[in-house]
Amino acid sequence: MLHVPAIGSAKTAFKELGFAVEENARVKGLSGFEHSFTLAARKGGRVVCVSIVSSNPVSVFAELAKGVDVKHEIVIAVEGEPPPKALELACEGRVKVIAFKSPEELAEELRKMLA
């Protein structure tokens, strides 16, 4: 798998904060369609869906589109530099785009976002 170290770091960050984490998660949207995410983290009534993708604009915007249908928080973790328009669009809703260059940086960004 392309992002194995990043997935491990993200899982650890969520678990340290008391979240139950599911890998290769499928989450049903408001339309009834099931969306795939790298991880889904749950704690109490909070659900955070995470997709870890490369900086390819098609991949990033495909993940952003899930925000229209999925009611939970969505984090798009982009390895490298995300497209500027994706950052702009993510600021307007419950979808967050974070950039990372290393698995450790991803874990730190998630911890900051979840605090």
Q: What pLDDT is stored for residue 92 in this prediction?
A: 63
- CATH T-level fold of 4-114: Trna Endonuclease; Chain: A, domain 1 (3.40.1350)
Q: What pLDDT is stored for residue 88 in this prediction?
A: 80
Q: What pLDDT is stored for residue 2 in this prediction?
A: 55
Domain spans in the chain, listed from the N-terminal domain onward: 4-114
Q: Is 4 exposed, middle or buried (0-12, 13-18, 19+ CB in 10 A)?
A: exposed
Q: What is the mean pLDDT of each run of 10 residues along the chain (115 residues)?
A: 82 96 96 97 96 93 92 94 83 83 95 89
The answer to whether the predicted template modeling score (pTM) of the entire model surpasses 0.85 is yes
Q: What pLDDT is stored for residue 1 in this prediction?
A: 43
